[in-house]
Structure 1
Amino acid sequence: VPSLDTAVCDRETRHFNQLAAGLGDDVLILTISVDLPPAQKRWCGAAGIDKVVVMSDHREVSFGTNYRVLMPSKRQLARCVFVLDKNDVIRHVQLVPAIGQEPDYDEVLAAVKALL
């Protein structure tokens, strides 16, 4: 996500946190942003995020660079969702066309459930 401190990223991460509760232990959901780890920790505590693992790409932006989702001019990540199988093979990618738009949760959920 671009930044947890924005309304769309906030809603997205909270929604995935709710979805995670019903998907079982075989599903791990990560939210990755370039926010500083202390800011992420503060936000997660305030938002009650307990199912999604939040990670920072702040230091080296290696995730953004390697997965080609870094927006260099803003030093933020594009809004996208990757679904990986148990062998860490990417099986579904959703690159959201507008940064202010939430992902298609139904599409993501269908991709996840197809792998269970």
Structure 2
Amino acid sequence: PMHVGRAEDKGGNDIQLQWFGKGSNLHRVWDSNMINDYGMSYTELSKKLPVLNKEQIREIKKGTVLEWVKESQELVNEIYSSAEKGEKLGYSYSYKYWNTVEKQLQKGGLRLARVLNDIFS
């Protein structure tokens, strides 16, 4: 979601903070820190994600890319308010937002599949 964040801080890249005592930024926390620190391979992680039924998948895939961007921007507003510059983040932050990470990974995968199918069909 941070890829459609605020231009003035480069999608959260300029919001410096600590992730388990190491320098990071808000964008990196959401793009990789939380996922990598979960300790699973991408295959293991994909198998752990909740199983969606056909209607849930259809609901995620519907809409336009612009609508998906607007949806992500709503989430980005929450993410921006979730941490302040210089804040020390760790387990409690990851625990609070892990379900959001999982949902976004599923949405990203399903929506990418839809775009590729539209291109190549």
Instruction: Name the structure, 1 or 2, with higher relative contact order (CA <8 Å, separation 6+).
Output: 2
Higher helix proportion (structure 1 or 2) = 2
TM-score under structure 2 normalisation?
Answer: 0.26
Higher strand proportion (structure 1 or 2) = 1
